[in-house]
Amino acid sequence: MGLLTDPKAGNGEMAKFILRWEKVLCYLLYFCGIIWMMCLAHPFFNDKQRYWAKDIIFLVTEHEQLGMQAWLDAYHNVVSGHEGILLSGDLAGRAGSIQAAINLELHSMAITSIDVKIEGLNGQLPNLDLFNLAQNMISKEGIRRSFQRRFDTYERDPVKKWSYHFNTLMSMIMAQSTGIPNGNHGLFHRFGIEAITLEGFDNLKEGAQRNFYNVGRIVESIVRSVNNLLERFHQSFFFYLLTCTDRYISIGEFYYIKMKYVSKSKYSNTALVCVITCVEFGTALTCIAMHNFSLAFLTAVVYVPIVLSIYPKQTITSRYRKILNVIWPLLHPFSIITIIVFMYGFINYRDETIMSVLVRSLKATKQAFVLSIFDSMIYGNMLYSVTVAIMLPIWLLYWNIIHKNTEINT
């Protein structure tokens, strides 16, 4: 860890960089970068740079997110996952509370576009001001910017324009709903640290090439902007959905609750269980949406239309009940995951036979279940816990309701 600090300043808040090199050929630059960071930490090199009001930590991690999580746990002296799973150790020194973090993922020495990643652990997002700052600095340096690997288009056709914004929105919802961070930045949010990832790509079809000098100017511009802050990010939104690089949907638009009058009817037996289960399901969705709106939204889209049609007054022998007996097993949480994995495999492996895709999907589903447990134990990902502790019991309650024949007495 190289520390760039003002010798006359105390240990205050700081900005942080994570450098992650993707290719084997970058090992030489990797070690040169470490030497460079050590030089920057020496006060002799900082005599003419008195504008830094905060400390800057340059951190190089090993084993991707495992190394980053271990460092964060050691820095804050906490255990994020289960006790005894990830041994973080101790740090010799600290530099105060961390204000912001920038994760760099550079796939080449020449950069043609930069994608900004924001999705964090359990669907947490950084403050919108940091995202807007990064996008503006990228555009200022003449590098093409993107979000969800989708570049801005300026279509005059309203249908094509709506389609672009909708697809970008759904890409963010799908990525956020998993609760899995798409970069090392996603592990910072739980500690109250605003963090993003700048991922650089080299594709001549995406624009003119830029070198590390331009990337350095982007990083320096972001850090100097954060350097001027006297307090943490708080002016903008922490709950939002993005439709492109410069358009967002605020929480006031998509998180609206209207309370209605509930009649005081008396129910008995299975009908009462149905009412209580509906209340429990609605409460669970509300609680999940307060933390990960995308996960709650997708869950509601899948389950709510079917749940609202479950009515205990119908007889078991009715035609609609027979249809529910076929549909509801397909909505089992584990069945939904299997179907999603199969559809993903079918789309990406169209040249293979259906049986081959099915075998691949079953193996991938098993791995997904195991990895979700690992993520829960190591990082504290709540997706597995929500599925097993909330959605599975609710599914079982509705399954019992479907197979009961109870009249409602009002």
- Ranges of each domain in the chain: 52-86+99-252, 269-403
Cα–Cα distance between 210 and 106 in angstroms, integer? 12
Q: Given this model, what pLDDT does residue 351 score?
A: 78
Predicted confidence band of residue 319 (pLDDT cuts 50, 70, 90):
confident
Predicted confidence band of residue 35 (pLDDT cuts 50, 70, 90):
low
Q: Using CA atoms of 27, 29, 35, 41 in order, give the dihedral in degrees to the nearest 10.
A: -120
Q: Given this model, what pLDDT does residue 131 score?
A: 92
Q: 220, 195, 186: which is closest to 52 by C-alpha?
A: 220
Q: Given this model, what pLDDT does residue 1 score?
A: 37
User: Tokens representing 388?
Assistant: 């097993």
The string of pLDDT tens digits covering residues 181-219 is 988 999 999 998 999 999 988 876 766 778 778 888 888
In this prediction, residues 246-255 reach a mean pLDDT of: 75
Predicted confidence band of residue 52 (pLDDT cuts 50, 70, 90):
confident
Q: Given this model, what pLDDT does residue 359 score?
A: 86
Cα–Cα distance between 201 and 208 in angstroms, integer? 11
- Does 284 score more than 80 pLDDT? yes
Whole-structure pTM over 0.75, yes or no? Answer: yes
The string of pLDDT tens digits covering residues 324-378 is 888 889 999 989 888 888 888 887 777 778 888 888 888 888 888 888 888 888 8
Place of tokens 């549909």: 327
List, as one string, the DSSP characters of 28-58: HHHHHHHHHHHHHTSGGGGTT-TT--SEEEE
The string of pLDDT tens digits covering residues 295-310 is 999 999 999 988 888 8
Cα–Cα distance between 99 and 118 in angstroms, integer? 16
Q: Given this model, what pLDDT does residue 230 score?
A: 76
- Is residue 128 within 8 A of residue 240, CB to CB? The reply is yes
The string of pLDDT tens digits covering residues 337-346 is 888 888 888 8
Q: 105, 148, 353: which is closest to 242 by C-alpha?
A: 148
Q: With left for phi above 0 and alpha for psi between -120 and 50, is residue 179 left, alpha or beta? A: left
The string of pLDDT tens digits covering residues 378-402 is 888 888 888 899 999 999 988 888 8
Predicted confidence band of residue 256 (pLDDT cuts 50, 70, 90):
low
Report which secondary-structure segment, H or E, holds 17: strand 14-21
In three-state secondary structure terms, 71 is helix
Q: Given this model, what pLDDT does residue 16 score?
A: 52
Beta bridge partners of 98: 14
Predicted confidence band of residue 2 (pLDDT cuts 50, 70, 90):
very low
Q: 51, 96, 397, 27: which is closest to 226 by C-alpha?
A: 51
- Is residue 24 within 8 A of residue 108, CB to CB? The reply is no
DSSP 387: I
- Is residue 274 within 8 A of residue 326, CB to CB? The reply is no
Query: What is the separation of C-alpha 380 from the centre of its chain, rounded to a whole number of angstroms?
Result: 13
Cα–Cα distance between 112 and 131 in angstroms, integer? 19
Q: Which of 114-118, 189-193, 247-251, 386-390 has the lowest mean pLDDT?
A: 247-251
Cα–Cα distance between 333 and 388 in angstroms, integer? 9
Cα–Cα distance between 187 and 73 in angstroms, integer? 10
- Does 8 score more than 50 pLDDT? no
H-only helix segments in 156-246: 158-177, 212-227
Q: Which of 164-173, 261-270, 276-285 has the lowest mean pLDDT?
A: 261-270
Q: Given this model, what pLDDT does residue 62 score?
A: 79
Cα–Cα distance between 69 and 103 in angstroms, integer? 14
- Is residue 194 within 8 A of residue 237, CB to CB? The reply is no
- What residues have CB less than 8 Å from 349, skipping those under 6 apart? 356, 357, 360
Cα–Cα distance between 287 and 289 in angstroms, integer? 5
